Amino acid sequence: MSIKFEVPYNGDSKLVDFYKENAERISWVYGRAEDKFPQGRDTSKSRPVSIEDIEKEVPHLRDSGIGFNYLLNGTNQGNREFNLGYRRKFVSFVKDLAARGIRGVTIGNPFLMETVREKVPEIEIFASILLEVDNLARLEQIIRAGADYVCLSKTLLKNFEGLERIAKFARDKTKLVLLANDPCLHHCAYTGYHNMTLSEFTSSGGDYVNYCRMHCNQDFASDARKVISASFIRPEDLGAYEELGFVFFKLCERKQTTDWITNAVRAYFQRSYNGDLSDIMAPWSNIGQRYPDPKALEESDLAEGFDKIRANIRFQPSISNPALDGYLDYWRKIKRNGCSNEDCDACNYCAEIAKKAYLPREGKNQTIVKNLDLAMRAARKT
């Protein structure tokens, strides 16, 4: 089977037209409306998407052989899932999605996954990446919970021994998905907390500061090795995973513009990108200098709120994608079980790769690190 992609919907019908033109490469389009159920992304500042917008596009996609995968991927429901009224409301919503022609739903809560499997058997279930399925034991549990597709943890992307074992185990049991262009720190300790706080914020509101993202940005900006070891799959390296049996790849980001999404998706279709890798990495991209160079912040700047200083604490690297050719062979052939239990100081590989591929912006990373230190101290202030 040839590689197929799961691609984002941002509410723009022109993007759907692009997907229809490339239907032979796409199996699913994913997205959601602002339905007040917990989700894994804060989309409150993005283009608003209604359930009617999605319903309008579903027949066009279906006629091209593409299914729509609706995201209900929040992990933290505040224990409301054990309330009968809430649970009925959730299941009723999924039934309504199915009635509108939506074929799949991504769920990040195992209890609700089991419930939907029982009550809405006609819909296909995707286990969210937020469940952090990173080994065979977890995969087996999630398969039993009813997942037709499982988006594996990004911590596995440089663990080829683990991926190979998982692919063999999952054959004929479930379909596996890998998320390609949403780099996180390798084995980040804040991942579970980040997922939980986002789920709570997107359903209940209240105060929210993206403290976990600040931590990531500070680590990336202060240590080039962490940029190289981050969880991403280059377009050129899809074949390394295809050899193991992986044929479904998810691309993001539904909060991005149509031009950004089509540029990133084309790169993966072509399995090549001759430019700055950060252009097609959702959290790192700064195409068209959308975000200005960071200025040094003073404590007084924080009084306006974190949204006002966002550009000054955002990590924006420059990475020569051609210079990374062959870099993955180290994990494919030598360190096949990844680096999760090794002190980074004991190995110089990522540092050497960074010297030729990673181009820090002069003085800018130091400014971001100082700004982030100021912002995080402000967030912790009592």
On whether both 89 and 189 belong to a single domain, the answer is yes
On whether both 9 and 140 belong to a single domain, the answer is yes
Q: Is residue 54 part of a domain?
A: yes
């494919």: which residue's tokens? 332
What is this structure's pTM?
Answer: 0.95
Mean pLDDT by 10 residues, the chain (382 residues): 94 97 98 87 76 97 98 92 96 98 97 98 97 97 97 97 97 96 94 88 76 93 94 98 98 94 97 96 83 87 82 90 97 93 89 90 83 92 83
pLDDT at 346: 87
Instruction: Please list, in sequence order, all residues whose beta carbon lies within 8 angstroms of the beta carbon of residue 68, skipping any fewer than 6 positions away.
Output: 9, 28, 29, 30, 31, 54, 57, 58, 61, 62, 101, 102, 103, 104
3-state secondary structure of 232: coil
On whether both 187 and 302 belong to a single domain, the answer is no
On whether both 265 and 320 belong to a single domain, the answer is no
On whether both 67 and 155 belong to a single domain, the answer is yes
What single letter denotes the amino acid at residue 112?
A: L
Range of the domain at 328: 287-379
How many domains does the structure of the chain reveal?
A: 2
Q: In the listed set 274, 298, 329, which residue is the last one of a domain according to the structure?
A: 274
CA 303, CA 305: separation in Å to the nearest integer? 5
102, 122 contact by CB (below 8 A): no
Q: For the chain, state the CA radius of gyration.
A: 20
Tokens of 360: 């820090």
Q: Which of 71, 136, 142, 148 is nearest to 111 (CA)?
A: 142
Q: Is residue 28 part of a domain?
A: yes
CA 279, CA 293: separation in Å to the nearest integer? 16
123, 98 contact by CB (below 8 A): yes
pLDDT at 44: 63
Q: Is residue 216 part of a domain?
A: no
On whether both 133 and 90 belong to a single domain, the answer is yes
Question: Looking at residue 246, which CATH number applies to its domain?
Answer: 3.20.20.380
On whether both 155 and 72 belong to a single domain, the answer is yes
On whether both 180 and 34 belong to a single domain, the answer is yes
pLDDT at 45: 66
77, 204 contact by CB (below 8 A): no
Distance set, CA 21 to CA 59, 116, 135 (Å): 15, 33, 37
On whether both 311 and 202 belong to a single domain, the answer is no
Q: Is residue 218 part of a domain?
A: no
pLDDT at 306: 79
pLDDT at 251: 98
Q: Is residue 39 part of a domain?
A: yes
Q: Is residue 323 part of a domain?
A: yes
On whether both 299 and 205 belong to a single domain, the answer is no
On whether both 69 and 106 belong to a single domain, the answer is yes
* End-to-end CA gap in the chain: 56
Q: Is the dihedral of CA 134, 135, 138, 141 positive or negative?
A: positive
On whether both 162 and 250 belong to a single domain, the answer is yes
Q: Is residue 222 part of a domain?
A: no
Q: Is residue 279 part of a domain?
A: no
